[in-house]
Amino acid sequence: MKRSTKLLLLTLLLLTALGCAPPGGGPPPNGGPPPQNGAGQPPQGNQNRPQPQNNQPPPAQAPSNQPEQPAQQPAAAAQQTSGSSAATVADTAASITANLNGCAAEHFIAVQPHPNNSAYPDPQLNVSCNGTEVTIQTNNIPNFEFVPLTPNNLAAQNFTFTIPQNPTKATRFTDVPLGGPSAVAVNGLVIFGPTEAPNDGYRDPYLDNILDYCNGHTAPGGIYHFHARPDCIYTNIDGNVGLVLGYAFDGYPILAPYICADANCTSVKEVQSSWQLTNPEVNNAWEKHSYIEGLSELDQCNGMEFADGSYAYFATDSFPYFMGCYRGVVNQRNIRP
């Protein structure tokens, strides 16, 4: 045997003894599974929603450098469950009624300017009650980091909304406006319906993935607005029964999507919309979805009436996201293009 061949064999034996793998890769160590979602592919979901430049977390969390605001820490949540319970509506009523007694101003947060929004005015919000009406004055500037997505530059507004302090149910439902504000969030930012403008075919901006990490963007005139649940208002809403996220223009609250699952509310369940995607081929968001009566606890307006007669909407994960219609008497002065 030639000397060079002997040296090569000795080298291979030495590498084998040391546990070294030959170049060029190989199977995962210890027979482990291959990488999930394909090599180098991002996980599925909403992770591709535009984020602030300093790598803010996705919707289920607040931006990491958002000013600390104790009022934005919701109470500890009960354990979640996926099971249903015939007692959930009655049990939830007591929790929600106790939480909503008094002036709605108690549920709005003290807004502070975000350090990365120095190019814009500071947010301003004032909410007051007089026994019959709630007056909300806001300049509609975000208190979280603003991420420009549209050609419409963010601009301060001069909004004043007046809603009933003691809302009443209407004899018939009222349609949510196809454009412009339909509700206001507890940080003073307006909420639009689940559609884009007429020139965009009334498409669903959430499904089209054209919203920022807080599920909003700016409209013409620089009006920032939400189209889906703004999870960045609070650090964590999971399991919080009766947590108010906003108010519709009929005065009824918009709540986080949780109700009690037992008599003591030691566990909770997440409620789902009764609207389903039935015509995915069409563009119009309302024509794309259909209301299926009895599909969930929620009615056509995406709300629920409780045993004590109170009513609330729920900010669900899917269409219509906030309200499917107005259940109460609407102050038409708040409806604007």
Closest Cα to residue 56, out of 232, 233, 256, 317? 232
Domain boundaries, position 209: 78-334
- 149: amino acid identity, one letter: L
What's the whole-number mean pLDDT along residues 163-173? 95
Give the model's confidence band at 96: pLDDT under 50 very low, under 70 low, under 90 confident, else very high: low
pLDDT over 60 at 13, yes or no = no
Q: What tens digit of pLDDT does each residue of 194-241 get?
A: 999 898 899 999 999 999 999 999 999 999 999 999 989 998 899 999
The model's confidence at residue 186, banded by pLDDT at 50, 70 and 90, is very high
Q: Please give the share of the chain, as a percent, with pLDDT higher than 70.
A: 69
- If one compares 15 and 232, the residue with the highest pLDDT of the two is 232
202: left (phi over 0), alpha (psi -120 to 50) or beta: left
Whether residue 186 lies inside any domain: the answer is yes
Q: What's the DSSP call for residue 298? A: -
Question: Could you tell me which of 265, 218, 214, 250 has the C-alpha nearest to residue 330?
Answer: 250
* Residue 321 clears pLDDT 80, i.e. is over it: yes
Residue percentage of the chain with pLDDT more than 90: 61
pLDDT top residue among 337 and 309: 309
The 3-state secondary structure of 116-140 reads HHCCCCCCCEEEEECCCEEEEEECC
For the record, the structure tokens of 50 come out as 């535009």
Please state, in angstroms and rounded to a whole number, the distance separating the CA atoms of residues 302 and 189.
Answer: 20
The answer to whether the beta carbons of residues 315 and 240 sit under 8 Å apart is: no
Confidence of residue 308 (pLDDT cuts 50, 70, 90): confident
CA distance readout (Å), 321 to 119, 247, 276, 327: 31, 14, 12, 15
pLDDT at 90 over 50: no
Which distant-in-sequence residues (6+ apart) come within 8 Å of 328 by Cβ?
164, 167, 168, 169, 170, 248, 250, 251, 252, 311
Residue 35 lies in a domain: no
Distances (CA, A) of 63 to 58, 101, 106, 108: 8, 31, 24, 19
- Backbone phi, then psi, for 10, in 5-degree steps? -60, -40
Q: What is the pLDDT of residue 334?
A: 86
| Widest Cα–Cα separation across the chain | 103
The one-letter amino acid at 85: S
In tens, the pLDDT along 30-67 reads 333 333 333 333 333 344 555 554 434 333 333 333 33
pLDDT of residue 18: 43
| pLDDT confidence of residue 95 | 57
Asked if residue 32 belongs to a domain, the reply is: no
What are the two backbone dihedrals, phi and then psi, of residue 324, each rounded to the nearest 5 degrees?
A: -90, -20
Domain-located, residue 12: no
What's the CA gap between 84 and 66, in Å, rounded?
36
Confidence of residue 94 (pLDDT cuts 50, 70, 90): low
Residue that is written with structure tokens 């219609």 in the block: 325
The count of C-alpha atoms lying within 13 angstroms of the C-alpha of 142, restricted to the half-sphere facing its C-beta, is 32
Is 113 inside a domain boundary?
yes
Q: What is the pLDDT of residue 152?
A: 97
Let me know if residue 235 belongs to a domain: yes
pLDDT for the residue numbered 284:
97
DSSP-derived secondary structure for 142-207: -SS-----SSS------EEEEEESS--EEEEEEPPPSSSEEEEETTS-EEE-S---GGGTT--TTT
- CB–CB of 287/243 below 8 Å? no
Q: How many Cα neighbours within 13 Å face the side chain of 75? A: 9
Estimate to the nearest angstrom the gap between the alpha carbon of 37 and the chain centroid.
25
Does a structural domain hold residue 254? yes
Phi, psi of 133 (to 5 degrees): -130, 155
Structure confidence at residue 68 as a pLDDT band (50, 70, 90): very low
Q: Mean of the per-residue pLDDT values for the chain?
A: 80
* 99: confidence class by pLDDT, cuts 50, 70, 90: low
Please, are residues 200 and 208 in contact by the beta-carbon 8 Å criterion?
no
In a domain, 234, yes or no: yes
pTM metric for this prediction: 0.76
Q: How confident is the model at residue 85, as a pLDDT?
A: 35
The span from the CA of 290 to the CA of 175, in Å, is 15
Task: Find the mean pLDDT for residues 76-91.
Answer: 45
Query: pLDDT of 229-283, one tens digit each?
Result: 998 999 889 999 999 999 999 999 999 999 999 888 889 999 999 999 999 999 9
**Per the structure, how many domains does the chain have?**
1
pLDDT digits (tens, 9 = 90+) for 128-153: 999 999 999 999 999 999 999 999 99
The answer to whether the bond into 42 is cis (omega within 30° of 0) is: no
Q: Give yes or no for residue 185 having a pLDDT over 50.
A: yes
Both tokens assigned to 104:
């709605």
Extract the tokens encoding 301.
Answer: 């307006």
